[in-house]
């Protein structure tokens, strides 16, 4: 049985208990949310290492995506990126490789880290079709299901599967005169090309029950991919994106009723005034399935800084109720990320998730502790409270350590140092707070 099915029978599994302990909440609350499909736990029966829960009542989780391209396919670098992602606090990792030894990269990544690993099986299926049959559009439909099962058997914890693309959504894309930013999802574009060339329905939609049964067999989480996500601000929340969201929300409910853990993927480029609306729609239409937001990127004009544009979107998404955030690196729209980009992306997303969770859960205790540590010049405590202690120590060390009571920003003109004795007896922030 899956985590969902066991939870529905009243069982608090070891995985549920571990998630509850890490979140500091009652295991019964987690069990109830898993049973209702509001929380998922990526814990493939063939690979259970580090456990994390995604969904209602839990802190917002961060995914780091890595993977080769047809231009750069370096197994060692992909492993390094995976290790960096885990080191700096990603909760999950997705291998999105499309070039080189796709299987070898995935195996090396699975062996190198303890995080739950996700994939997009459609990528490998189309890559094999190009190699074996000469073109992606010549792919036998059965290959999609074979690759999905193979990757599940290897221990993949969750999969983005493009079930919400169908003939109706493709026709809708045509009627709205395509898009400013085109179709930016690799999986979405390949599937649309396959459907149009073969004049057939998407097999993943047409035979959705087969997808669900494969995922259930290994208790992998089905992440309903958004192949029609907007890749430009002016395409956000258009008819085809919302149509796919509606289909995915319905499929999430169907999969949940079949005993499969499911979540729904959200948009990529969204202006900040439309973020909340997307989350409200997903939550209402899916019965509060976990919502996986890709970024979201909030402006199209900041290449090189898209980890910042996405952090703005991610903080709002988290505050409005999104459960899972896919990071964005500085190299987005420019090239394949390198290890240093992965670090930047993870940290930016962790900051954003923390900002959102402060609002979502009305908990700013960590920030209060940091405020007192700064006021009292407790440097070690400040570093311990940092989201990235390593970077904080690096920056301070490069600028000199100052004195025990200040830093080189103000030196002897330290504002807190000037007044601390005058107000010491009146200070708030006792240990009882």
pLDDT tens for the chain, 433 residues long, are 999 999 999 999 999 999 999 999 999 999 999 999 999 999 999 998 999 999 999 999 999 999 999 999 999 999 999 999 999 999 999 999 999 999 999 999 999 999 999 999 999 999 999 999 999 999 999 999 999 999 999 999 999 999 999 999 999 999 998 899 999 999 999 999 999 999 999 999 999 999 999 999 999 999 999 999 999 999 999 999 999 999 999 999 999 999 999 999 999 999 999 999 999 999 999 999 999 999 999 999 999 999 999 999 999 999 999 999 999 999 999 999 999 999 999 999 999 999 999 999 998 999 999 999 988 888 899 999 999 999 999 998 888 765 556 677 887 788 877 777 776 666 666 544 4
Q: Kindly report the CATH number that applies to the domain delimited by 60-360.
A: 3.20.20.540
- What confidence tens digit (pLDDT) does each residue in 258-294 have? 999 999 999 999 999 999 999 999 999 999 999 999 9
Phi-psi bin for 86: left (phi > 0), alpha (psi -120 to 50), beta?
alpha
| 82 alpha-carbon distance from chain centroid | 14
What pLDDT does 311 receive? 98
Quickly list DSSP for 269-324.
Answer: B--GGGHHHHHHHHHHHHTS--EEEETTB--SS-TT-HHHHHHHHHHHHHHHT--E
Residue from 381, 383, 316, 309 nearest 348 by CA: 309
| Rounded Cα distance, 202 and 220, in Å | 22
Which residues make Cβ contacts (< 8 Å) with residue 13, sequence separation at least 6?
A: 3, 6, 7, 31
CB 289 within 8 A of CB 34: no
In angstroms, the Cα distances linking 261 to 21, 179, 312 are: 21, 33, 29
CB 324 within 8 A of CB 61: yes
What pLDDT does 432 receive? 45
| Rounded Cα distance, 386 and 374, in Å | 12
Taking the domains of the chain in order of start, what are their residue ranges? 60-360, 378-426
DSSP state of 395: H
Task: Look up residue 234 and give its two tokens.
Answer: 């002016």
| Residue 150: CB atoms within 10 Å | 15
CB 183 within 8 A of CB 192: yes
- What confidence tens digit (pLDDT) does each residue in 14-46 have? 999 999 999 999 999 999 999 999 999 999 999
């Amino acid at each position: 049985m899956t985590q969902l099915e066991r939870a529905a029978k009243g069982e608090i599994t070891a995985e549920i208990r571990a998630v509850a302990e890490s979140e500091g909440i009652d295991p019964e609350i987690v069990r109830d949310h898993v049973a209702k499909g509001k929380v998922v736990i990526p814990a493939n029966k063939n690979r259970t290492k580090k456990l994390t829960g995604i969904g209602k009542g839990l802190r917002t989780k961060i995914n780091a995506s890595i993977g080769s391209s047809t231009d750069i396919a370096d197994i060692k670098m992909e492993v390094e990126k995976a290790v960096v992602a885990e080191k700096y606090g990603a909760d999950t990792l997705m291998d999105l490789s499309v070039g080189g030894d796709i299987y070898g990269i995935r195996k090396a990544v699975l062996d190198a880290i303890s995080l739950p690993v996700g994939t997009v099986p459609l990528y490998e299926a189309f890559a094999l079709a190009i190699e074996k049959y000469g073109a992606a559009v010549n792919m036998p439909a059965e290959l999609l299901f074979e690759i999905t099962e193979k990757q599940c058997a290897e221990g993949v914890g969750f999969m983005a599967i493009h079930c919400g693309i169908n003939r109706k959504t493709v026709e809708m894309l045509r009627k709205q005169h395509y898009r400013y930013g085109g179709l930016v999802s690799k999986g979405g574009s390949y599937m649309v090309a396959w459907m149009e060339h073969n004049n057939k329905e998407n097999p993943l939609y047409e035979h959705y029950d087969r997808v669900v049964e494969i995922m259930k067999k290994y208790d992998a989480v089905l992440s309903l991919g958004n192949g029609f996500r907007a890749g430009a601000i002016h395409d956000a929340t258009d008819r085809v994106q919302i149509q796919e969201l509606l289909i995915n929300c319905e499929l999430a409910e169907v999969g949940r009723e079949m005993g499969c853990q499911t979540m729904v993927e959200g948009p990529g480029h969204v202006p900040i005034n439309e973020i909340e609306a997307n989350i409200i729609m997903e939550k209402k239409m899916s019965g509060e399935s976990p919502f996986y937001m890709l970024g979201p990127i909030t402006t199209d004009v900041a290449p090189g800084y898209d980890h910042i544009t996405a952090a703005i979107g991610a903080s709002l998404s988290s505050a409005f109720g999104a459960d899972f955030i896919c990071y964005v690196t500085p190299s987005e729209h420019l090239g394949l990320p390198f290890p240093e980009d992965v670090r930047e992306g993870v940290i930016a997303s962790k900051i954003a998730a923390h900002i959102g969770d402060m609002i979502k859960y009305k908990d700013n205790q960590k920030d209060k502790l940091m405020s007192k540590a700064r006021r009292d010049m407790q440097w070690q405590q400040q570093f311990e409270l940092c989201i990235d202690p390593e970077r904080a120590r690096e920056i301070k060390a490069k600028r000199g350590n100052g004195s025990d009571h200040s830093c080189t920003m103000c030196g002897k003109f330290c504002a807190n140092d000037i007044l601390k004795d005058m107000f010491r007896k009146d200070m708030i922030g006792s240990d009882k707070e």
